[in-house]
Amino acid sequence: QVQLVESGGGLVQPGGSLRLSCAASGITFSIYGVGWHRQAPGKQRELVAHITSGGNVYYADSVKGRFTISRDNAKNTVVLQMNSLKPEDTAVYYCNVARAPNTYWGQGTQVTVSS
Chain segment 26-36, per-residue pLDDT in tens: 999 999 999 99
pLDDT at site 42:
94
pLDDT at site 23:
97
pLDDT at site 33:
97
**Tens of pLDDT, residues 12-28:** 999 999 999 999 999 99
Per the prediction, the chain carries an average pLDDT of 97
**Tens of pLDDT, residues 32-91:** 999 999 999 999 999 999 999 999 999 999 999 999 999 999 999 999 999 999 999 999
What is the C-alpha to C-alpha distance for residues 60 and 93, in angstroms, rounded to an integer? 14
In degrees, rounded to 5, the angle at the alpha carbon of residue 50 between the alpha carbons of residues 49 and 55 is 130
How confident is residue 112, by pLDDT bands cut at 50, 70 and 90? very high
